[in-house]
């Protein structure tokens, strides 16, 4: 098959969405398919185009056997809403032309967010007369509404209308969580159209490693009980709870909170930490890919958070890398969320409700003195990851979905041709 993938992030960007799309595309090539990706100039997380690239109208390169077509988009280091919307919107529009340059594919796969990218994917599928699958990494506009960043009723209705339009026209909709699946059913999407394909981690790349390692030494974390959050510092990440817990535990010099990553909430959280004088909270930038496994291994306890309103519209993908690293999870998540279900079914950690920093602090103190339990939780998470969320398994599910979609479309076309 010739598979056209539309996604805003791609290598060499190091954010989780870019890693996922890059791994999917390169693995599909290894499985014998021809893959073209229409993406933007690499600029995440700082809103500056990477060295060696330019934000031109069009450019093309080949990475790991994948043809990568990059199109222009508005890029700004600002974390304000309007520049971010312009970034998403302009890429969503120009990706259409990137798709045209790809030539006729057999099937199209687009990633959301950004939701408007689906409009380009749908238009390309109409022009090329090929099937289109929509992959939902988050539910928009639900996630934006839950985070409190989309409150204008006219804007909400506009995006709800766009969402319904795209859901009706996609031949397949793949979702990363079963809660997304249930939400789509309530929105009137036919169950036969929905595919559950979870996010993954690569157990061959993220392996259990020694806790006392070079990452700890480089950041002065030796002999500390490290509670680490590693990932996007976004609107649904609920890291205010971590600051609250750190404030409660400020006299525990043996406990250190470490926040690794970038995102729209990072500056505000750093300022809040400074104002409170929290010397037991350390903020670090995104780490190079080659240091990723070592960074995860440096944690005694890995923090995964989700705010109360996002239980049905978001699932933090960082949970799977934590499980791959065989580190125990401390999840601040709403009761009944899929994040809670994963942690509890895998027996890989502990859960507390969001908005309760006292409960979070209490859990940290209790778990600190349960070394053998923490080790077992980490082993349980790794075993669950290998069984249910490995890279090879999930890529195969994508391949099967796209292959079946192509065959179904071809069979329908043949039937129409045979009708006298």
In terms of Cα–Cα distance, which of 235, 246, 274, 239 is closest to 260?
Answer: 239
Q: How far is 168 from 170, CA to CA, in rounded Å?
A: 6
Q: List the domain boundaries for the chain.
A: 2-200+390-418, 214-388
- Three-class SS of residue 279? coil
Token output for 19: 């890693």
Cα four-point dihedral sign 378, 380, 383, 385: negative
Q: What is the DSSP letter of 202?
A: -
Q: Strand pairing partners for 281?
A: 257
What is the CATH code for 214-388? Answer: 3.40.50.2000
Would the CATH topology of 2-200+390-418 be identical to that of 214-388? yes
The DSSP code for 290 is G
The two tokens of residue 260 are 């690794």
Cα–Cα nearest to 364, from 302, 295, 281: 302
CATH code reported for the domain at 2-200+390-418: 3.40.50.2000
- Tens-digit pLDDT string for the chain (420 aa): 999 999 999 999 988 899 999 999 999 999 999 999 999 999 998 899 999 999 999 999 999 999 999 999 999 998 888 898 999 999 999 999 999 999 999 999 999 999 999 999 999 999 999 999 999 999 988 888 877 778 889 999 999 999 999 999 999 999 999 999 999 999 999 999 999 999 999 999 999 999 999 999 999 999 999 999 999 998 778 899 999 999 999 999 999 999 999 988 999 999 999 999 999 999 999 998 889 999 999 999 999 998 887 777 788 999 999 999 999 999 999 888 999 999 999 999 999 999 999 999 999 999 999 999 999 999 999 999 999 999 999 999 999 999 999 998 777 666 655 555
CA atoms within 13 A on the CB side of 25: 30
């Amino acid at each position: 098959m010739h598979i056209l993938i539309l996604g805003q992030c791609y290598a060499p960007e190091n954010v989780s969405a870019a890693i996922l799309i890059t791994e999917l595309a390169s693995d599909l090539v290894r499985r014998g398919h021809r893959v073209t990706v229409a993406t933007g100039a690499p600029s995440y997380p700082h809103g500056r185009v990477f060295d060696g690239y330019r934000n031109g109208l069009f450019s093309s390169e080949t990475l790991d056997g994948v043809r990568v077509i990059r199109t222009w988009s508005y890029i700004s280091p600002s974390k304000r809403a309007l520049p971010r919307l312009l970034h998403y919107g302009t890429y969503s529009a120009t990706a259409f032309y990137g798709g045209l340059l790809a030539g006729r594919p057999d099937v199209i796969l687009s990633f959301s967010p950004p939701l408007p990218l689906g409009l380009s994917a749908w238009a390309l599928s109409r022009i090329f007369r090929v099937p289109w699958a929509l992959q939902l990494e988050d539910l928009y506009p639900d996630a934006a509404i839950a985070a409190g960043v989309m409150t204008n009723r006219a804007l909400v209705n506009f995006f709800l209308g766009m969402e319904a339009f795209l859901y009706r026209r996609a031949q397949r909709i793949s979702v990363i969580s079963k809660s997304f699946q249930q939400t789509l059913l309530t929105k009137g999407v036919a169950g036969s159209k929905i595919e559950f394909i979870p996010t993954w981690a690569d157990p061959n790349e993220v392996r259990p490693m020694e806790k006392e390692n070079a990452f700890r030494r480089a950041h002065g974390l030796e002999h500390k009980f490290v509670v680490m959050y590693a990932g996007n510092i976004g609107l649904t990440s609920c890291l205010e709870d971590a600051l609250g817990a750190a404030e409660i535990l400020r006299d525990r010099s043996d406990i250190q909170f470490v926040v690794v990553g970038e995102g729209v909430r990072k500056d505000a959280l750093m300022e809040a930490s400074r104002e409170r004088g929290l010397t037991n909270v350390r903020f670090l930038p995104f780490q190079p890919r080659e240091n990723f496994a070592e960074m995860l291994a440096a944690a005694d306890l890995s923090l995964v958070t989700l705010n109360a309103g996002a239980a049905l519209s978001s699932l933090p993908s960082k949970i799977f890398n934590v499980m791959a690293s065989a580190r125990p999870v401390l999840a601040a998540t709403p009761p009944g969320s899929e994040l809670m279900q994963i942690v509890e079914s895998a027996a890989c950690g502990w859960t507390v409700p969001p908005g309760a920093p006292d409960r979070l602090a209490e859990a940290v103190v209790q778990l600190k003195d349960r070394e053998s339990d923490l080790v077992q939780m980490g082993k349980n998470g790794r075993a669950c990851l290998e069984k249910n969320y490995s890279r090879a398994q999930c890529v195969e599910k994508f391949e099967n979905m796209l292959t079946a979609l192509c065959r179904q479309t071809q069979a329908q076309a043949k039937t129409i041709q045979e009708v006298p």
